[in-house]
């Protein structure tokens, strides 16, 4: 892990997950300052401030992580404009493009836009990043190092792809949780006790995900591997893969809706 000074603005679920990953990888607690009036129970040694005005003028962060909700970002940013040109800003706010941050922080601001997802809480996340104008290789490497503490990292060169990234991976864990939820409900409808149905759904979804992670086969091939011709799985897949009302058209519509909403949040 690159030794660095970090300013973390907002320490909710994602901010806390990243902070835990950094400390586990060797970042010193003394090198992290958190700005969050509601932060509680943070690790010993981490400086926690309720307002950026309380930040020491001698603390110049190498990177400033913007981890507040996109709905309040516009009112939060102006207080950090004084750091433009001295730090790189890394935003994890959905829907907010690089130009939005440069508008509020000044054209001198070096901004990296990132979209992580909630499996970061167990260091199994994936984050996609886009580097705005003026972001050099060193701060890119720093951002990658910090984000790798909670999972995989990928980069894109076309920022317009970020809304689709958000729709697939940022929102995606909710789709997986919904799958487990409806599988359990279907099990109950088929006659299983609720606790057993929930246990079966959880173990099957999480185990299937781990098999997918470790396997060299494609997801399509893994599906084929578990499907015997004329068997029970084939009967279920005939419903789930219906071209008109199966999972594929539903997921396409869902991702399109999430992508559209991401564009609406860009203001």
96 is in an annotated binding site: no
70 is in an annotated binding site: yes
Banded pLDDT at 265 (limits 50, 70, 90): confident
Whether 3 shows a pLDDT value over 90: the answer reads no
**Residue recorded with tokens 């508008």:** 103
Whether 52 shows a pLDDT value over 60: the answer reads yes
Most confident of 40-44, 106-110, 208-212: 208-212
Domain positions in the chain: 6-166, 172-264
249 is in an annotated binding site: no
As a whole number, the mean pLDDT across the chain is 94
Banded pLDDT at 33 (limits 50, 70, 90): very high
CATH of domain 172-264: 1.10.3730.10
Structure tokens at 54: 């309380």
Instruction: Determine what percent of the chain is predicted with pLDDT higher than 90.
Output: 85
Whether 80 shows a pLDDT value over 70: the answer reads yes
Residue 132 CA to residue 24 CA, distance in Å, equals: 29
pLDDT tens for each residue of 193-237: 999 999 999 999 999 999 999 999 999 999 999 999 999 999 999
Task: Assign domain 6-166 to its CATH architecture.
Answer: 3-Layer(aba) Sandwich (3.40)
At a CB cut-off of 8 Å and minimum separation 6, what does 52 contact?
A: 9, 35, 79, 80
Q: Which residue has the higher pLDDT, 71 or 192?
A: 192
Please provide the size of the chain in residues.
267
User: Is 194 within 8 Å of 166 (Cβ atoms)?
Assistant: no
Whether 262 shows a pLDDT value over 90: the answer reads no
Angle subtended at Cα 162 by Cα 156 and Cα 168, rounded to the nearest 5 degrees: 105
At a CB cut-off of 8 Å and minimum separation 6, what does 215 contact?
A: 222
Whether 260 shows a pLDDT value over 60: the answer reads yes
User: Is 111 within 8 Å of 135 (Cβ atoms)?
Assistant: yes
At a CB cut-off of 8 Å and minimum separation 6, what does 234 contact?
A: 227, 228
Average pLDDT of the residues in 67-86: 92
Whether 107 shows a pLDDT value over 60: the answer reads yes
Whether 40 shows a pLDDT value over 90: the answer reads no
* Model confidence, pTM: 0.90
End-to-end CA distance of the chain: 35
pLDDT value for 2: 56
* Equal fold, 6-166 vs 172-264: no
How are beta strands 110-115 and 125-131 bridged, if at all? antiparallel
Residue 164 CA to residue 260 CA, distance in Å, equals: 9
What DSSP string runs through 28-89?
-GGGEEEE-TT--SPPTT-EEESSGGGS-TT---SEEEE-S-GGGHHHHGGGGGGGBTTBEE
pLDDT value for 189: 98
Banded pLDDT at 21 (limits 50, 70, 90): very high
What DSSP string runs through 190-204?
TT--HHHHHHHHHHH
Whether 68 shows a pLDDT value over 70: the answer reads yes
How are beta strands 32-35 and 6-9 bridged, if at all? parallel
Average pLDDT of the residues in 137-147: 94
pLDDT value for 43: 87
pLDDT value for 145: 94
245 is in an annotated binding site: no
Whether 1 shows a pLDDT value over 60: the answer reads no
């Amino acid at each position: 892990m690159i030794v660095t000074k970090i300013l973390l603005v907002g320490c909710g679920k994602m901010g806390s997950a990243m902070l835990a990953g950094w400390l586990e990888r060797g970042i010193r607690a003394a090198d992290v300052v958190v700005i969050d009036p509601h932060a509680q129970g943070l690790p010993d040694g981490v400086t926690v401030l309720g307002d950026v005005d309380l930040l020491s003028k001698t603390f110049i962060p190498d990177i400033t992580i913007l981890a507040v909700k996109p709905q309040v970002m516009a009112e939060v940013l102006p207080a950090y404009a004084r750091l433009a040109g001295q730090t790189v800003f890394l935003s994890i706010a959905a829907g907010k493009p690089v130009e939005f941050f440069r508008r509020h922080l000044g054209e001198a601001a070096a901004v990296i836009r990132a979209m992580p997802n909630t499996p970061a809480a167990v260091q199994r996340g994936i984050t996609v990043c886009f580097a705005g104008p003026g972001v050099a290789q060193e701060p890119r490497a720093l951002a990658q190092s910090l984000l790798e503490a909670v999972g995989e990292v990928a980069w894109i060169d076309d920022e317009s792809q970020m809304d689709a990234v958000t729709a697939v991976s940022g929102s995606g864990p909710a789709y997986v949780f919904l799958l487990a939820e409806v599988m359990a409900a279907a099990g109950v409808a088929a006659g299983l006790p609720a606790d057993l149905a929930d246990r079966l759904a959880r173990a099957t979804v999480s185990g299937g995900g781990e098999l997918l992670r470790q396997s060299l086969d494609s997801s399509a091939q893994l599906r084929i591997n578990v499907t015997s011709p004329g068997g029970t799985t084939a009967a279920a897949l005939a419903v789930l893969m219906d071209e008109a009302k199966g999972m594929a058209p539903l997921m396409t519509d869902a991702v399109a809706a999430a992508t559209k909403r991401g564009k609406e949040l860009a203001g």
